Amino acid sequence: MLKYHLNESIDMSSRNGKFIKSSLQWIISRFKVGKGVEIADFGCGPGLYTTGLAEQGAVVTGIDFSGNSLRYAKKTARKKGLAINYIKANYLDFNTKDKFDLIIMIMCDYCALSYEQRKTILSKFRSLLKPNGLVALDIYSLNSFDARKETSYYELNQLNGFWSDKDYYCFVNTFKYNKERVILDKYSIIEETGKREIYNWLQYFDESSLKKEFEQSGFIVKELYADVAGGVFAENSAEIAIVAGK
């Protein structure tokens, strides 16, 4: 399964405002982000988090496979005079000799990885962390799974041109697998040059299954929250945010 930087329930526009601001404030406070703190953002997208963290003086690396997103992120960094290291890559293949105080993966990217890919990324995180470094990421809970419906629709330049630099139509079909607690979003992308299909599988978690995966990969789970803005975790939370270290 290929990993794509998608968010199936919260679109980018809804997170560009109040939530991003409160989330950044929480991350800066919780992880003492300041001058010289080294941070990696896996699936950084258009730089919603990397920009705010770099403005605090952090040394920030953003990794994403989307050229459109990174062009926007780099443009923003130039305007603000921020030296952010952006890398165009599938983060499953990303390697560096750098070590980080904090690694983040936000907007529930973790859910779009297969079990083997999740093992790979957690192993990578562990190898890239400094001795006292931390990982923070969010996932969709089973409450979100229960709220999902099977749907179909099409849209011109769906996800704000995410799939291509040129105009395209995207047909989206959503399938729900109740036993496995998995959602499949099938994207049929029709361009002038042809058609391609993307299969984006999303795994949903409860508190126990999330902790188990981290602990099996050698992490110590420090805290759970309702989201990456530090909300109080509850049984009815739509998301779960986890903080873990070695």
**Distance between CA atoms of 201 and 97, rounded to whole angstroms?**
31
**Distance between CA atoms of 63 and 3, rounded to whole angstroms?**
13
pTM of the model: 0.85
- Tell me which fold the domain 12-140+204-245 belongs to: Rossmann fold (3.40.50)
pLDDT by residue (tens digit) across 42-74? 999 999 999 999 999 999 999 999 888 999 999
pLDDT classification of 7: cutoffs 50, 70, 90: very low
Domain boundaries, the chain: 12-140+204-245, 143-203
Start-to-end CA span in the chain (Å): 28
Of 57, 62, 10, residue with least CA distance to 228: 10
Cα dist. 11→15, 107, 191, 243 in Å?
Answer: 7, 9, 23, 24
Query: Residue 16 has what pLDDT?
Result: 60
